[in-house]
Amino acid sequence: MDNYYPNYYDQSQQGRNPPRSGVNPQQLTPVGYQQPVSPKYEFPQQPQQGYQPSQQRGYQQTTYQQGYERVSPPIDHNQLRRQPTNGFGYENIVPNINNFGGEYEHVYDDKYEKRRSARHVELTHGNLVLDCPVPDKVLRNVKYSDSEEFSTMRYTAVTCDPDDFIQNKYLLRPHIYGRKTELMIVMTMYNEDDRLFIKTMSSAIKNVAHLCSRTKSKTWGREGWQKVVVVIVSDGRNKINQRTLNVLGAMGVYQDGIMQDNVDGKPVTAHLFEYTTQLMVDSECNIRGQDKNVPPVQVLFCLKEKNAKKLNSHRWFFNAFAAQLNPNVCVLLDVGTKPSHTSIYHLWKAFDRDPYVGGACGEIKAELGAGWRNLMNPLVASQNFEYKMSNILDKPLESVFGYISVLPGAFSAYRYKALQNTSPGKGPLASYFKGETMHGSGAASAGIFEANMYLAEDRILCFELVAKKYESWKLKYVKSAKAETDVPDTIPEFISQRRRWLNGSFFAAFYSVANFTRIWTSGQPFYRMLMLQVEFIYNAIQLLFNWFALGDNGNSGNLGGAQAVKGKDGKQVFKVEIPTERADINAAYDKITSELKVVVHEERQHRD
C-alpha cells in the first residue's frame, strides 16, 4: 500500500480532534470542545489515604494509572523491585508487597503475572465507563500516541436494551469529539475463527486507507478516517473465538479482565470497547502499523453478554450506535466476507451520486482459493455458478426497475435516513426487527406464514424500503463493488444454510407479490410505479415456477439458529464465568501476541 496519506491527524483543527488527556468535564460538550471554564467545585488541597480528586470524565485518577485508583498508602519508589515475567523480554515493576502489609494480592500462573486490586470509579450518569491505558507495545509502531483516543481504550458496561441506549445517556467517543460520521461499517460475527476475522477486518482497514488516499475528494482525504466508524458486534461472550479476541487485543481494541457482569445490581447486556487503532494483523498474524501505512481507524467492539442471533446484533447497530452517530451510509458485512480495497468506496459513491438510492449491493463471489482449487469441490462449484448467474442476470435486471428482491446481508449498504420508521412501530426497521421476536418468546403467537417469512428478514427490509409511504427510494446493484465470501464446503453446512434460505425466500417473495398495491401509496414517480408493476408480474411467475419446481420447498423447519440453551422460562440463557482478575497490561499483550503465532487448525462453524 503506498503512502498516500502522510498527515491523517491535523492537531490544528479544533472541535474535530480530541483534546489531550487532562480535560475537565466542563470542557466536553455534545458538539465538540470549548475553552476551559472555571470549575463549580474545588478539589481538596491535601487528599487523604492516597485519594486523588476526579480529573477526567468523572473518574478518580492517581499517578499509578490513569482512570483508576488503588486504595493503598503512598508508594516509595525506592521500595520498588523488579520481577521477571518468564521470558516475555521485559521486566515488570511491581511494589514490594512485603513492605506494604499485603496491600496487593498477587496470583501467579505459568506464563504471566496477574494482579487483583481494588479500583474505585465514579459512575457517569449511572453508567460504568473506564478509560484504560493501552499496552506500551501498541504505541511503538504508530504515528500518533499523545491523544486520548490513541493512548487509552474506553470500556463501557451497558445495562440496557439497545432501543434505550440513548435514553440511558450512553455516549460514544465520536459523538463526544463532535465528529460527523459519514460512513459506518458493521461486522457481525458469532464464533468465527481468527483467520476469517483477520480477512474481513484487514479488508475494512484497507478500504479506510483508500478513502484517506482520495485527497481531491470533497468528502474524504487525509482526515477521512474521522468520518468512518467500524463497528464489530459479537453474538455472545461465551461463543466468541478466543483467538479472535487475541487479534482484537493485539490491535489495542480489547483488554481481558476488565469486564463486569453487573453495575449497581443491574445485569450487563453488552460490553463496549472503543479505541482508535493504528495497527492491523495480517494473514500471517504479523502486527503491522506505520511500516505498512495503516491509517487510524475508529473501532467500536460490542461484545454481547448473551447469544441472541444476528438480527439482534443489527438492532444494536441501527437502534443504539447509528442512532447516536447518525451516519449517512451504513455498510453491512459478515465476518468471513472480504471486500476489495475499493469496494466500500464504490458502494458509498452510489449513494453520493443519486440521492434517491436507499440501498445498494455489490457482486459477491465464492472464495475459490489459490489456483481455483476450491472448484474441485462440487458444492463450492455449484454455489459459484449460482452466484455468477445471480450477478449476471437477476440483480442487473432488478436494478433497472429499482427494486432488488434481496440485498445480501453479507455485503450491502443502506442510507440510514431511508431506514427510519414513518411512525412508532411502523416502517422499514420496525418490520425488519419484527423477526427477532418472531423466533424468540413470541414464536408461539406467530402464524406459520409469518414465522417462515421472517426467516428472510433482509428480503422484507428491501420491500419495505421501496414501498415506504410518501418516499421514493430505490435499490441499486453496483458492479464495481466486489467481495469474496466463504461458502459451505460440506453437506451438513450446506443443508443447514439452504433449509433456512429456501423457506424464508419463498414466503418473503409471496409477501411482496401479495402486497404489490402498496407501491401506489409510496412516493415513487409514476413511470417507476409502472416499471415496478412489470417486475412484480415477473416475480409472480417466478414464484409459481418455484412452487412446482422439485426441491425448492423442502420439509425444512423453523430454525432461527438452534445454538442457545433454553432456560425455565423458555428464553435463551448462557451461564458464563466473569473474570475476577486483571492481568498486567503489557504481560497480557505479549501473551496474546505469542499465542497468535501458534497455528491452530479449527473446524469452521457457519451460522445458520
* 483 DSSP β-pair partners: 339, 364
Whether pLDDT at 103 is above 90 = no
- The catalytic residues are 458
Question: CA–CA separation, 279 vs 287, rounded Å?
Answer: 7
Reported as a pLDDT band with limits 50, 70 and 90, residue 117 is low
- Helix, strand or coil for residue 336? coil
| More confident site: 88 or 481 | 481
Q: What is the mean pLDDT of residues 32-42?
A: 37
Q: How many domains does the chain have?
A: 1
What local confidence, expressed as pLDDT, does residue 280 receive? 92
Question: Using CB atoms within 10 A of its CB, is residue 487 exposed (0-12), middle (13-18) or buried (19+)?
Answer: buried
Please name the residues in contact with 531: beta carbons below 8 A apart, sequence gap of 6 or more. Answer: 400, 401, 402
| 3-state secondary structure at position 581 | coil
- Average pLDDT of the residues in 379-395: 91
Mean pLDDT of 219-226: 94
Please state the rounded mean pLDDT for residues 4-33.
42
Arithmetic mean of pLDDT, 245-251 = 93
pLDDT band at 569 (very low <50, low <70, confident <90, very high): low
- Looking at residue 507, its pLDDT comes to 76
pLDDT digits 0-9 by tens, 482-537: 999 988 889 888 888 887 777 777 777 888 888 888 888 888 889 888 998 888 88
The answer to whether 432 and 461 have CB atoms below 8 angstroms apart is yes
Structural domain of 463: 135-548
More confident residue, 530 or 60: 530
Per-state percent for the chain, helix, strand, coil, to nearest 5:
35, 20, 40
Within a domain: residue 366? Answer: yes
The per-residue pLDDT for 292 is 82
Is position 23 within any domain? no
Q: Decide if 113 is inside a domain.
A: no
Name which residue leads in pLDDT, 158 or 79.
Answer: 158
Mean pLDDT lowest among 148-157, 267-276, 553-562: 553-562
**Mean pLDDT over residues 568-590, rounded?**
46
Residue 607 inside a domain? The answer is no
Give the chain's end-to-end CA distance (angstroms, integer).
Answer: 36
| Per-residue pLDDT, 597 | 65
Domain for residue 234, yes or no? yes
- CA-nearest of 220, 201, 200, 204 to 212 is 220
Q: What one-character-per-residue DSSP string does 458-523 give?
A: HHHHHHHHHT-BT---EEEEEEEEEEEE----SHHHHHHHHHHHHHHHHHHHHHHHHTGGGGGGB-
- The pLDDT assigned to 125 comes to 82
Please say if the pLDDT value at position 346 is more than 90.
yes
Give, for 330, the enclosing helix (H) or strand (E): strand 329-334
| 218 within a domain of the structure (yes/no) | yes
For residues 11 and 4, give the distance between their C-alpha atoms in angstroms, rounded to a whole number. 19
Per-residue pLDDT tens digits for 148-192: 999 999 999 999 999 999 999 999 999 999 999 999 999 999 989
Do the domain assignments include residue 65?
no
The answer, yes or no, to whether residue 353 has pLDDT greater than 80, is yes
Higher-confidence residue of 225 and 121: namely 225
Is 14's pLDDT higher than 60?
no
**Alpha helix stretches (DSSP H) within 358-490:** 378-389, 395-401, 416-419, 428-438, 448-453, 457-466
Residue 591 lies in a domain: no
Lowest mean pLDDT among 28-32, 334-338, 604-608: 28-32
Q: Which domain CATH number covers 360?
A: 3.90.550.10
Q: With bands split at pLDDT 50, 70 and 90, how would you rate the model's confidence at 220?
A: very high
pLDDT above 70: percentage of residues in the chain: 68
pLDDT at 66 over 50: no
Band the pLDDT of 295: cuts 50, 70, 90.
Answer: very high
> Identity (one letter) of the amino acid at 283?
S
pLDDT value of residue 600: 56
Among the residue ranges 133-137, 380-384, 565-569, the one predicted with the least confidence is: 565-569
